[in-house]
């Protein structure tokens, strides 16, 4: 399957999931608001997500997919299936121990992660309880990531991409039908998270069976393939850990800021994550098995070609998104989240954070594109070094910028460190001769920037002309937002087509996966 087609499939399902995620967040903002109950839930959700990204989607995918793909290419289906079963069974044992430990020591963990909560006993105990309810999600979602790695390596991206839809539907159901059946709506949401994880596991297990990979639980063994995976995983876990620790430290600092700071950052990040999830994650997920296969086959020219086309596709969508988030952030937050317990003051504070996050949006996507260039070559050590440098810079900037910009300073530091990380990843590949920017990519990026500037001016002008629409009822506000979106998209596409940045025949070639 070509890069363009695979990304289109993955992105389509991811987009549906993100839309449902926004419905979930709109309901959450209305019912939970941005107070201490919401802060407790988001802290509880951060903990299993930290380990999920650390092991399941970070280190595990970076180590499992290249080894599985190489085993499938060199040894055939039976050898690949045996490796997958051993890895699956070993992961279950490790996860059961980890979940049990975290359930027991949840109070101590919350004391470390949200030290600011310890001054309020009610707030602290609620965060502990919600964490214990959500943590089993880690067990299920980690196994889901392994099964998804199998499917992705086989070129079956739709089932994996559809998986997050289950989580969003579960949480939406909890908010609509069960939020008043528990002590707080956060209790219903926490339970919905763990239930969704179990359903996701069943969903992908059945998908694997349909393509002939019936994964059985076997006795965990340290086979040569598992050992190779673990050797790759160790530095990958450290690298993923550095990134996640970075996010956790942001939360620890934010817990010392006024109530609502964690929620402002959460909602701003949720909106910023839309293009990252739809484009960046899709590109990274598709590229890893694709590049691993290219390298196993010795086709280095195709490796560089695929990464260049991925950069074009990724930045074609994320540069204008970043500009839009920086030009009209309040209008977006105001329409999407401002209702119920979420006030106009909350909208402004969230909008400021969104502007800061958006400055680093293209860098997040570039990192998703460059990282597979290392992982596919089973090099997980180099990205670790870069991530550690970025962490030190981020924390230094956090401590400086928060003094002047409060929670917005944390978002600013995150964006700056993201650019540093992306630059180091790109530079490392170029120095080793594993990647080079071709002329087409450089020219197109310049044209994308020009088109985005024009779009920004158009959207800014429109926002002033229709400012009164955002003071009316929800229908009028929504229409105003639609006008801004249509005006922005229309002006951006017009400039890209007129400048030759996008040509129909080249798009067709991308979806066929042919080198031009």
For 389-440, what is each residue's pLDDT tens digit? 998 999 999 999 998 998 999 999 999 999 999 999 999 999 998 888 888 8
Within 10 angstroms of residue 468's Cβ, the number of other Cβ atoms is 9
Residue 91: C-alpha distances to residues 94, 134, 265, 359 (Å)? 5, 19, 32, 37
Classify 408 as helix, strand or coil: helix
For 447-476, what is each residue's pLDDT tens digit? 999 999 999 999 999 999 998 898 878 889
Residue 382: C-alpha distances to residues 238, 320, 403, 429 (Å)? 11, 31, 33, 10
First to last CA, the chain: 17
- The first and second tokens of residue 134, run together, are 């959500």
- The first and second tokens of residue 341, run together, are 């317990």
Calpha distance 423→390 (Å, rounded):
10
**Which pLDDT score, from 0 to 100, does residue 516 have?**
39
- The first and second tokens of residue 177, run together, are 């039908």
Nearest to 283 by CA among 368, 224, 343, 201: 368
328, 387 Cβ separation under 8 angstroms? no
Return the residue matching tokens 């965990």.
220
Return the residue matching tokens 């990464």.
307
Name the CA radius of gyration of the chain, rounded.
Answer: 22
**Which pLDDT score, from 0 to 100, does residue 9 have?**
82
| Residues of the chain with confidence (pLDDT) below 50 | 514, 516
**Which pLDDT score, from 0 to 100, does residue 58 have?**
62
The pTM score is 0.77
Nearest to 410 by CA among 277, 261, 274, 270: 261
- The first and second tokens of residue 218, run together, are 């076997």
> Cβ neighbours of residue 172 under 8 Å, at least 6 residues apart?
20, 23, 24, 27
């Amino acid at each position: 399957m070509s890069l363009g087609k695979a990304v289109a499939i993955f992105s389509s399902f991811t987009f549906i999931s993100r839309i449902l995620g926004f419905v979930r967040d709109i309901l959450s903002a209305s019912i939970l608001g941005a107070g201490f109950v919401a802060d407790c839930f988001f802290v509880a959700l951060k903990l299993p997500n930290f380990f999920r990204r650390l092991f399941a989607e970070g280190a595990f995918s970076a180590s499992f997919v290249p080894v599985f793909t190489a085993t499938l290419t060199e040894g055939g289906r039976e050898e690949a299936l045996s490796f997958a079963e051993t890895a699956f069974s070993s992961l279950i044992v490790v996860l059961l121990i980890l979940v049990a430990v975290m359930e027991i020591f949840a109070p101590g963990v919350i004391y470390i992660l949200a030290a600011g909560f310890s001054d309020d006993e009610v707030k602290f105990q609620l965060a502990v309880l919600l964490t214990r309810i959500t943590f089993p999600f880690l067990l299920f979602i980690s196994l889901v990531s392994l099964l998804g790695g199998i499917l992705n390596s086989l070129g079956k991206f739709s089932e994996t991409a559809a998986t997050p839809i289950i989580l969003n539907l579960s949480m939406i159901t909890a908010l609509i039908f069960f939020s008043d059946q528990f002590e707080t709506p956060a209790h219903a949401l926490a339970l919905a998270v763990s239930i969704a994880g179990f359903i996701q596991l069943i969903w992908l297990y059945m998908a694997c069976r349909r393509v002939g990979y019936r994964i059985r639980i076997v006795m965990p063994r340290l086979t040569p393939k598992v050992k190779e995976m673990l050797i790759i995983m160790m530095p990958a876990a450290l690298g993923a850990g550095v990134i996640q620790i970075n996010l956790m430290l942001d939360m620890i600092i934010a817990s010392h800021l006024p109530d609502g700071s964690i929620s402002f950052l959460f909602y701003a990040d949720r909106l910023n994550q839309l293009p990252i999830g739809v484009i960046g994650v899709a590109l990274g997920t598709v590229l890893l098995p694709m590049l691993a296969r290219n390298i196993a086959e010795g086709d280095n020219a195709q490796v560089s070609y695929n990464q260049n086309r991925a950069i074009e596709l990724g930045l074609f969508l994320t540069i204008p998104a970043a500009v839009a988030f920086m030009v009209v952030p309040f209008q977006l937050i105001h329409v999407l989240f401002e209702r119920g317990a979420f006030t106009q003051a909350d909208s402004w504070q969230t909008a400021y954070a969104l502007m800061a996050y958006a400055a680093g949006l293209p860098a997040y996507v570039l990192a998703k594109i460059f990282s597979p260039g290392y992982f596919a070559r089973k090099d997980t050590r180099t990205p670790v070094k870069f991530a550690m440098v970025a962490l030190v810079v981020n924390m230094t900037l956090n401590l400086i910028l928060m003094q002047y910009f409060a929670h917005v300073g944390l978002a600013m530091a995150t964006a700056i460190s993201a650019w540093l990380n992306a630059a180091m990843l790109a530079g490392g590949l170029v120095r080793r001769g594993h990647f080079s920017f071709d002329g087409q990519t450089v020219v197109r990026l310049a044209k994308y920037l020009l088109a985005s500037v024009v779009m920004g001016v158009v959207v800014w002008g429109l926002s002033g002309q229709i400012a009164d629409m955002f003071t009316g009822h929800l229908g009028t506000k929504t229409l105003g937002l639609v006008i801004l979106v249509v005006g922005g998209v229309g002006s951006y596409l017009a400039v890209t087509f007129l400048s030759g940045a996008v040509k129909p025949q080249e798009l067709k070639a991308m979806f066929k996966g042919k080198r031009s």
